[in-house]
């Protein structure tokens, strides 16, 4: 079987989808992933796609790539480096993304650019600057709690880290759920692009190409 389907659920972020369908693909199903992804993206802007990556156990190589819309996640497992034809397909997927968003994006973008052999640009939530009286915003839970104070920053961070309970000192370190990370990222940023009120945000764009990593333009938004 080249692709499988699972479902993610969440109750931490009110006003956002309670579930998302996760399609899991192997490299052999990359053409299917491209068709499914292109069919899932909205017909008109604005929309954002969250990205999260997992590394192979040996070497600085991407093993898991997750791309998420508000209610769908496309998760690719790269058992080996992609072929030239598969790289072209991946490039076409990324060419359909107007706003690629992630946490710790300078790190992610270097690996993506290496895997694709092409320039990649996107916006980094880790370098978000804002006018807020609520102190430093440092974790994914902090970002989501800023949008919705009823969202538990602690619980979101626990799920982000692999659903480890932070009060449990005996817990082993679980494997992060990259599909969930991409999904939570998209839900936060899509609300910024769709709605507006009094909170001003600035996203730093990063671009990686042949000269190396460089800062690009910002996009400014106001959100609730």
Mean pLDDT, rounded, of the chain = 78
Contact by Cβ (8 Å): 66, 18: no
**Which residues, 6 or more positions from 117, have their beta carbon under 8 angstroms from its beta carbon?**
87
Query: How far is residue 83's CA from residue 100's CA, in Å, rounded to a whole number?
Result: 23
pTM greater than the 0.85 cutoff: no
pLDDT at 197 (0 to 100): 37
Q: Which is higher by pLDDT, 188 or 25?
A: 25
Closest among 113, 117, 89 to 100, alpha carbons compared: 113
pLDDT score, position 173: 63
Which residues have CB under 8 Å from 83's CB, separation 6+? none
Q: What is the mean pLDDT of residues 196-223?
A: 43
Ranges of beta strands (E only) in 158-211 are 199-209
Residue 36 has, within 13 A of its CA and on its CB side, a CA count of 21
**What token pair was written down for 68?**
């998420």
**Per residue, what are the HEC states of 9-75?**
ECCCCCCCCCEEEEEEEEHHHHHHHHHHHHHHCCCCCCCEEEEEEEECCCCCCEEEEEEECCCEEEE
> What is the CB neighbour count within 10 angstroms for residue 52?
26
Query: Which residues have CB under 8 Å from 164's CB, separation 6+?
Result: 158, 171, 173, 174
Tell me what pLDDT residue 198 has. 33
Architecture of the domain made up of 3-223: 2-Layer Sandwich (3.30)
Q: What is the pLDDT of residues 101-149, one digit of tens each?
A: 888 777 888 889 888 888 888 887 766 544 444 556 678 888 778 777 8
Minimum mean pLDDT among 63-72, 119-128, 176-185: which range? 119-128
User: How do residues 158-176 score in pLDDT, each as one tens digit?
Assistant: 999 887 665 455 556 667 8
2-55 residue pLDDT tens: 679 999 999 988 888 999 999 999 999 999 999 999 999 877 666 789 999 999
d(CA 137, CA 131): 11
Q: What is the pLDDT of residue 137?
A: 62
């Amino acid at each position: 079987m080249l692709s499988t389907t699972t479902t993610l659920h969440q109750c931490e972020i009110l006003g956002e989808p309670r579930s998302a369908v996760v399609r899991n693909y192997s490299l052999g199903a990359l053409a299917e992933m491209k068709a499914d992804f292109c069919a899932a993206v909205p017909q008109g802007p604005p929309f954002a796609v969250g990205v999260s990556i997992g590394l192979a156990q040996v070497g600085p190589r991407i093993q898991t790539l997750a791309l998420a819309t508000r209610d769908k996640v496309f998760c690719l497992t790269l058992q080996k480096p992609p072929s030239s034809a598969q790289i072209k397909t991946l490039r076409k997927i990324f060419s359909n993304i107007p706003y690629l968003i992630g946490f710790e994006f300078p790190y992610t973008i270097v690996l993506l650019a290496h895997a694709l052999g092409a320039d990649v640009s996107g916006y980094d939530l880790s370098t978000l600057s804002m006018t807020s009286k609520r102190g430093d915003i440092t974790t994914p839970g902090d970002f989501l709690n800023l949008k919705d104070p009823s969202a538990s920053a602690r619980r979101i961070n626990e799920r982000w880290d692999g659903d480890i309970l932070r009060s449990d000192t005996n817990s082993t370190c679980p494997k992060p759920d990259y599909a969930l990370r991409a999904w939570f990222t998209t839900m936060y940023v899509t609300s910024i692009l769709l709605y507006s009120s009094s909170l001003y945000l600035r996203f730093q764009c990063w671009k990686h190409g042949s000269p190396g990593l460089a800062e690009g333009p910002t996009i400014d938004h106001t959100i609730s």
